[in-house]
Structure 1
Amino acid sequence: MSYGALTDPHAWAIVTAIVREAYRVVEAEGVTLPWETADAYLEYLRTTQLPATAAHHSSMLQDLTLGRRTEIDFLNGAVADLGRRHGIGVPYNTCITELIHFREQL
């Protein structure tokens, strides 16, 4: 699956939830990002970043394809851990982390 597939309405709903969770965690951590809100970043992602990389494949997919461990623990896994520490619900980041861990074992 390429990045372009993320524009599918079902995939986009998941991406949106993951990003919004991450922004809540970032706010709790006191970190400033280039985009002030999750929605501002999502707009940039949808209109600029995804079109420019639509045919590309993530390094995580490449790692899974080659049977290597991924960087999931440092990405969504970190959001999940920090969310739990702050008492913030992060079900999408937790789920994607667990799904990737499952896939790594296959």
Structure 2
Amino acid sequence: MIRLLREGVAVAQWMGIDLSPELPDKLIELAHNRIPPTHRTSMFEDLLEGKRLEVEALNGTVVRLGSEHRVETPLHFAVYAALKPYVNGGLATL
């Protein structure tokens, strides 16, 4: 998870957005302190329920912007590629 956050920060920085390099670590620490370990993300819930996924808007955007600014985003690309077949739902019917 932290590597996904770091990729996003790197893309934002190349776009001129002033984000602290420590932001991913702070977000992970905050999550560990406030979010129960049994929590599931909304995209995971949507995947399980066969609903449309926001993978295009989230991971796809990071991949596209990274490509435009020559910032490698291999983890976002992997997530995007793995979930793209389910972007319109469908996992619940498998």
TM range (shorter): 0.7 to 0.9
Partner of 1:21: 7
Partners of 1:83 and 1:93 lie apart in 2 by 10
Paired residues in the alignment total: 88
Partner of 1:56: 39
Query: Alpha-carbon deviation of 1:103?
Result: 4.5
| Identical positions, percent | 26
Give me the TM-score of the superposition, normalised by structure 1: 0.71
Give me the TM-score of the superposition, normalised by structure 2: 0.79
For the residue of structure 1 that corresponds to 2:50, the secondary structure is coil
Partners of 1:93 and 1:43 lie apart in 2 by 18
**Two-structure CA RMSD over aligned residues (Å):** 1.7
Structure 1, unmatched stretches of 5+, are: 1-14
**Map 1:23-102 → 2, pairs under 5 A:** 23-33=9-19, 36-37=20-21, 40-54=22-36, 55-102=38-85
Structure 2, unmatched stretches of 5+, are: none
